[in-house]
Amino acid sequence: MLAADVIEALRAAGATDVVPTDRDELDILDADAVALAVAECDLLINCAAFTAVDAAEEQESLAHAVNATGPGILARAAAVAGARMVHFSTDYVFAGDATEPYAEDAPTTPTGAYGRTKAAGEEAVRASGADALILRTAYLYGRGGPCFPKTIAKAGRERGALSVVDDQIGQPTWTRDVAAFMVRLLQADAPAGTYHATSAGQGSWYDFAREIVASADLGDIVTPTDSSAYERPAPRPAWSVLGHGATEALGIEGIGDWRERWAVAADEVLA
Ligand SMILES: NC(=O)c1ccc[n+]([C@@H]2O[C@H](COP(=O)([O-])OP(=O)(O)OC[C@H]3O[C@@H](n4cnc5c(N)ncnc54)[C@H](OP(=O)(O)O)[C@@H]3O)[C@@H](O)[C@H]2O)c1
């Protein structure tokens, strides 16, 4: 999902030789193939991940391979090739029990398998010696994959009434905005480190669902509920708000308020 907009943003920014790969073309766990593929690169961007949060509870070793071992292989290849690297991570590296936005350098405290494996991936990238930007994003939606807005609009049309949790708070973020933010960091030659690639502001899934059904002209069909109504294998962070101090300190433009960005994104994502 994210890669579709990353590729487009790189080309729009003037990159002339962007080589997208998928799992069939390059398995990130195949160290020899990775070394060969990365040898001539100036920039390596890793959007690959095991993103099935609930399935990761049952398949943690596979999730660890894709989310931690693979990024380590990529980052070591980038270091050898002298390439810059961008690696994407997640708010799930935090427990989501804070009351202030998480700073980029706050200690990671994952509570589930997905978050543990993504936190291990960050560490593998940091330990590699690569010139790497680690971009944590969250509550991601985009045209290129299944995502919350598409699910809500479809369910709203089919069912006419929806209950959505209002006790999980985060920052709904458009893949196109993450890609543009990444390009700004690269163009500013931002120092290696961890950055938060999320919208400003905060809202619950219920708040977001209300915006989505309004955009889809479905009327006032969403009622709030709490997470106890939905038992799921993996714990969800309750308050997953990421701070943007590192980019503010560099004077790099952040992603705007999540409601304003959704208003811009809605037609494209729901098309
Ligand atoms: N989606 C969200 O809400 C969200 C939130 C926060 C952070 N993130 C992070 O943002 C990044 C992008 O997420 P996304 O939602 O765009 O992910 P996505 O749509 O699930 O795409 C992940 C891709 O990784 C590929 N992949 C898996 N194992 C691979 C391997 N061994 N070698 C090569 N490719 C492999 C998958 O291929 P297959 O289709 O063949 O499996 C899939 O195309 C990830 O780092 C994710 O952790 C996502």
Q: Is 47 in the pocket of ligand 1 (CB under 6 A)?
A: yes
Quote the pLDDT of residue 102.
98
Site to substitute for ligand 1 among 23, 45, 177, 255, most atoms within 8 A of C-beta: 23
CA 5 – ligand 1 centroid, Å: 13
Q: Is 28 in the pocket of ligand 1 (CB under 6 A)?
A: yes
- Report d(CA 170, CA 221) in Å as an integer: 22
- In ligand 1, the atom with minimum distance to the C-alpha of 144 is 19
Q: Is 90 in the pocket of ligand 1 (CB under 6 A)?
A: yes
Number of H helices, E strands in the chain: 11, 10
Helix, strand, coil abundance in the chain, percent, nearest 5:
45, 15, 40
Q: Is 145 in the pocket of ligand 1 (CB under 6 A)?
A: yes
Question: pLDDT (tens digit, 9 = 90+) per residue, 24-66?
Answer: 999 999 999 999 999 999 999 999 999 999 999 999 999 999 9
CA 193 to chain centre: 16
Q: Which residues are catalytic?
A: 114
- Report d(CA 236, CA 38) in Å as an integer: 35
| Alpha helices, DSSP H, located in the chain | 2-12, 31-38, 55-58, 60-64, 70-81, 113-127, 148-159, 175-187, 205-215, 245-250, 258-270
CA 67 – ligand 1 centroid, Å: 9
Question: pLDDT (tens digit, 9 = 90+) per residue, 227-257?
Answer: 988 888 998 889 999 999 999 999 999 999 9
Quote the pLDDT of residue 194.
98
Quote the pLDDT of residue 231.
83
Site to substitute for ligand 1 among 47, 102, 176, most atoms within 8 A of C-beta: 47
Site to substitute for ligand 1 among 116, 133, 140, most atoms within 8 A of C-beta: 140
Rounded to 5 degrees, what angle do the CA atoms 264, 160, 143 make? 30
Percentage of the chain surpassing pLDDT 70?
Answer: 100
Average the pLDDT over 7-13 and give the result: 97
